[in-house]
Structure formats: structure tokens, C-alpha cells
Amino acid sequence: MNPIGRYEVLKEIGRGAMGIVYLGRDPKIDRAVAIKCLRPNLIEGQAEAKQRFQQEILALGRLIHPNIVTIFDAGEDPRTEREFIVMEYIEGVSLAEMLKEGEGLTPDQVRSIGIQVCHALDFAHSKGVIHRDIKPGNILLSPALSRAKVTDFGIARLDRGNQTQTDRLLGTPQYMSPEQCNGEALDGRSDLFAVGALLYELLTRQKPFPGENMTAVIHHVLTKNPLPPAQISPQIPQQLSEVVMKALQKAPHHRFSSGREMAHALFFEMPRSAATDEEDEEGGTLRLSAPEEPFPSRPAFFRKRSRLILVVMLIAIAAILGGLARKGPGKPKLSSVARVKEGRILLSTHPSGAEIAINGERKGLSPLTLSLPAGSYELAVTKMGHHPLEATINVLPEQEVPVDLKLSKEERREHKSLQAKISGVPLDFSR
């Protein structure tokens, strides 16, 4: 197959109404990539399609997050004049493929996927990006099902200050919020409604708003409430069912206010019968992605015992702390249970040799591997002669997260080509 830009094209791996996706290879660094190209028949005569394609580039350009597909490069092929996006290649399956094949997921696996998608959307919303098309086909899973990534921002809306924009009926009806069906103004809570519909289908293998045509589906979205998942299957925990139903509330103010809030609601203590300890293909157990600020469930004995026991425990703790204080300056050892779980960031830049700072503290030059406690960090990347980058990165417990950044050279201000605006990694990370 003919190359696209400097990238070798190996095979076609997917296509949609607007674009075709190829598996490719970057010969400069010998890396597999996914290349999304605007369909040839849309190049001429359909300015709206090209605008939506550029919208996806701009949306992805703002986002670096472990649960969002990363953009490496963007441009126009000089030979065919086709615009393209170069993204990380996810070797796995989409949720749509899993549903089609009839592969089952445990409630705990569904919950893990939901938490990761909520984290991704919370980050996107914080950068002014609303996805507007969350559905099974736009959620990719790693081969071991341990990592979920959101993709396809083709109809995303970007907040641009005071600019007025009318939201058209774009999206997939089965997962669209009532306000999206009505063509009203949207915010991040519309995406969370779609997450609720997605989780409902993964748990029950039924769409929450069925219909033989788009009109029937939209009627159900606007007027009907689905049966709670826990009433469909006794294997679905009641608390998980309640989270899904809250996300599916008709009025936005009755839903979760943010992806972070919904992720926290999903992070609860699962009944032992509903959880899974089966090992995945990589030899690890599928674990939940902890919220950026840990909110663990309260131990069972706090819920079942009287307040008297809690008072006794507090008195005992106070006595222990008093004893430690009397022993002098010696530091008590942390137990292994109390240690905060760490994750690893595999950070590389192109070109290499960029200075890396985390939360304002210099860590060294790229490429760099960092072990950090699970949580959210501010990343700053600087290199002489290149535009500086700032981004928020999320470290997940006991997981390795690759962060690959392409730095753009400082050029003349009058050069305004698409390639200069978007060069693999967003230039709009400053707050």
C-alpha cells in the first residue's frame, strides 16, 4: 500500500462514515501507529466533513491521559491531499466487538471500565472538550481487558469562550442524552448519560432504550425509564445498579455533576460473589482504576458495630500515639498495608533530551521512567528551540502508563498550517 506522509501503511483495520483507519509504521522510530484518514470521497465538496475531521484533531490535541488514545502527529498527505491523524495503536478490541461476539464481563470488570472512562471524560471536560458520541465502538480495551481507552472525537464540541454554537443532532441515538436528542446545549453531564447507557448494556446485554428506528429510540430516551439492572439480574450489585440509573436520569442536574464524582460512586466495596480474582493473560488480576483521590469503602465493622466501639478504638489509637510521642524522635515503621500503591510513567519525547518536571520539581531528561504514588500530577516539558508543554497526567496503581510527546519547534508566527498548529501533541495545555 502507498505510504501516507512519512508513514508506511500495513493494512486497513477499520472504517466509519467519515474516516478510514490503517495500521501503519513510523519508520523513524520503528513504532506501530494507527493512521486515520478522511475518506477520499469527502475531500472535495463536503466542507462539513473536513471541519469535523479537523475538530477531532483539535480535540485530541488538547488531551494527554492514560485512558484517552494519544495523538502523535497530524497533517496532509502531499500526494493525495488527504488529511490524516497519527495515533497510538491499541492492540485489543472495542466494547462493540465484545458485545457482538457475546463475550461476558463480570460486574467488577464493567465497573473498572466505567471508572476509567469517567476519569477520561472528566479530564476531557476540564479541557473544554465534550465527546458527544460515547458508545461501545468508541471504547477500546487492551488484550488483557485491564485498560480502557476512549477514542473517536469526530463530533466533539470544544468550548471557545463566548462563541455561540448550536448543537445539531449528531451522535448515536441509543446512547444520546435527552438534551442531545432535543438539540439543546450540552455539557459534560450529557457524556455521563452515555456512560450510564453503556454500562447498562454491558451489565444486562440489553439496550436501555430499544427501538426499531431512530424515532422510536429517541421517544424512549425522552419519555421512558429502563428497568434497573439489579432487577434484570440478581448477580448485579444493587449499588452498581443505582449508579447506572442515576447517570440515566432525564434531567442533567439529577445526574452526577462530573466524571470524577461518578468514578467515586463506582469505587465501592463489591460483594465477594460479584468480584473476580481470576488472573488475566498478563498474569495479573483485573483491578479497578482507583480514583485520583482515594475514597475507599468503609470497613464492614464500621457499618455494623455501635458507636461505642468506634469511641473505644479512637481512645486506643490516642493512647498508642501518646506512647510513640514519649519514645522520642524515632520514626515508626509503616506497615506494608499502609504503603501507597505506586504506578510507573514511561515518558519519552521526540526529540529526546527534554527537561521533565513533575509538580515543579525537576526529574531529569527524557526518556525517563518515573515511579510515583497513584494520583494526579502536573507535568512540564521544556527543550531549547521547542514550544514548552504542560499537562496533567494520572498515575494508576500498579500500572505502567506510556506518555509519548512530540515537541514542536518554535517557528515564525505567520506560519499557520495545520501541521504547525498540531504536531502530534497539543499546544494548548496551559491553563
The most confident of 58-62, 193-197, 377-381, 417-421, by mean pLDDT? 193-197
Q: What mean pLDDT comes out for the span 393-408?
A: 76
Q: Which residue has the higher pLDDT, 311 or 342?
A: 342
**Confidence at 47, pLDDT banded by 50, 70, 90:** low
The 10s digit of each residue's pLDDT in 125-156 is 998 888 888 999 999 998 877 899 998 876 55
Domains and CATH numbers, the chain: 8-88 (3.30.200.20), 93-266 (1.10.510.10), 342-421 (2.60.40.1120)
pTM exceeds cut of 0.85: no
Q: What angle do CA 83, 84, 90 make, to 5 degrees?
A: 165
Task: Using a pLDDT cut of 70, give the percent of the chain over it.
Answer: 68
Residue 421: predicted pLDDT: 37
Tell me how crowded residue 146 is: count the other CB atoms within 10 A of its CB: 21
113 strand-pairing partners:
none
Residues composing the chain: 431
The answer on pLDDT for 259 being more than 90 is: yes
Q: What mean pLDDT comes out for the span 403-409?
A: 76
Q: What mean pLDDT comes out for the span 285-299?
A: 40
Question: Which residues, at least 6 apart from 161, have a Cβ–Cβ distance to it below 8 Å?
Answer: none
Residue 182: DSSP 8-state: T
Q: What is the dihedral of CA 363, 367, 372, 376, to 10 degrees?
A: 90
- Spatial separation of the C-alpha atoms in residues 190 and 172, rounded to whole Å: 13
Alpha carbon separation from 262 to 111, 130, 213, 243, 257 (Å, rounded)? 11, 16, 30, 8, 8
Q: What angle do CA 240, 242, 244 make, to 5 degrees?
A: 75
The most confident of 202-211, 345-354, 386-395, 422-431, by mean pLDDT? 202-211
404 strand-pairing partners:
348
Residue 1: predicted pLDDT: 82
**Confidence at 289, pLDDT banded by 50, 70, 90:** very low
Terminal alpha carbon distance of the chain: 42
CA 321 to chain CA mean position, Å: 42
Is the bond preceding residue 351 a cis peptide, omega within 30 degrees?
A: yes
Q: What are phi and psi of 42, to 5 degrees?
A: -100, 0
Q: What mean pLDDT comes out for the span 196-205?
A: 96
Parallel/antiparallel/unpaired status of strands 129-130 and 71-76:
unpaired
- Spatial separation of the C-alpha atoms in residues 6 and 349, rounded to whole Å: 19
C-alpha cell at 123: 479530564
Q: Which residues are marked as active site? A: 133
The most confident of 191-195, 354-358, 402-406, by mean pLDDT? 191-195
Average pLDDT, the chain: 76
Structural contact between residues 356 and 365, judged by C-beta atoms closer than 8 angstroms: yes
* 3-class secondary-structure state, position 274: coil
- Spatial separation of the C-alpha atoms in residues 170 and 159, rounded to whole Å: 17
The 10s digit of each residue's pLDDT in 352-383 is 888 898 887 888 898 888 888 887 777 888 88
The answer on pLDDT for 105 being more than 50 is: yes
423 strand-pairing partners:
425
The 10s digit of each residue's pLDDT in 30-46 is 999 999 887 665 555 56
- Spatial separation of the C-alpha atoms in residues 243 and 192, rounded to whole Å: 11
The 10s digit of each residue's pLDDT in 106-122 is 999 999 999 999 999 99
C-alpha cell at 287: 483491578
**Confidence at 293, pLDDT banded by 50, 70, 90:** very low
